Homo-oligomer: A and B are copies of this chain.
């Protein structure tokens, strides 16, 4: 997928060029002005301008299932060559067949747990090399383009806009922390130390004289729902003033953000655009959106409609090109 040069120029000169004029864009721009103009009564010092973003379904496409699960599937393919009995046992059987409907029975946590465990024994550096190589070649099963080209252009613009206004952007993802790190620096300009996510336990070892941190099979943290604010407290140590999510897995983070003192902005992306991306919410078993949508007003959450608030989704019409 080539980025359109005109779009790129527009991005450089007009903030949030891929956002349509409307209440969501207005809410973002008003908020940023309120917290960054020095004479504003709601001015927030740079050091406190923390923004947290979910990744799957918020910064890039998570349909028909989270990208990470394809990466794990490929690793399981390798393991199944050594141990063919995996093909007869669930959840490996469904995983190996990429039988998404069957996989959904195991839930996001169950699938992630198996996926992370499949990388046990890797050092941090080995995992990074594998993840980057995979991201450089793995393609979306329906849309044909590389997964890494399925980040949302309006969100990349938003990250740039916030950064230009002194915000420090963090990803707080239910996905595996290290696979998202392998993506985030190039795709979003977010360095590894600003990625918080699910993780396995590790060990420290000396291998051939070299000190290494090695992934273990056991889950350390499943960074979803109430664990997101807990991990924000652990990793960041400040309450964000802006958060952006797209599912009930982000609701605790949104409420944690919105119930702090002073100005706050909580945003929820609603996938209501079946033409340019996918339309789904409460029925998506691997990351449903129910409570956050039903109670958005009550909690002060600003809902962003992909269909009406975004001028483009990916920067090029990937879905129609694939059809």
Q: Count residues of A near B (Cβ-Cβ below 8 Å).
A: 43
Q: Mark A207-242, 1 if CB is under 8 A from B, else 0.
A: 001111100000010000011011011111111000
Asked whether, in the complex, the Cβ of B168 is within 8 Å of the Cβ of A255, the reply is no
Q: Mark A232-272, 1 if CB is under 8 A from B, else 0.
A: 11111111000000000000100110110000000000000
Q: Does A199 contact B (CB under 8 A)?
A: yes
Q: How far is the CA of A192 from the CA of B239 in the complex (A)?
A: 11
The answer to whether residues A255 and B202 also contact, given A193-B238, A235-B193 and a CB cut-off of 8 A, is no
Interface segment, A76-84, A150-158, A177-185? A177-185
Residues in B neighbouring A116, C-beta threshold 8 A = none
Contacts of A39 in B (CB 8 A): none
Q: Which residue of B lies closest to A256 (CB)?
A: B211
Which single member of B125, B199, B230 contacts A234 (CB below 8 Å)? B199
Contact A213 B193 (CB under 8 A): no
Binding site for B on A (CB under 8 A): 47, 50, 124-125, 168, 170, 177-178, 181, 185, 191-195, 199, 202-204, 206, 209-213, 220, 226-227, 229-230, 232-239, 252, 255-256, 258-259
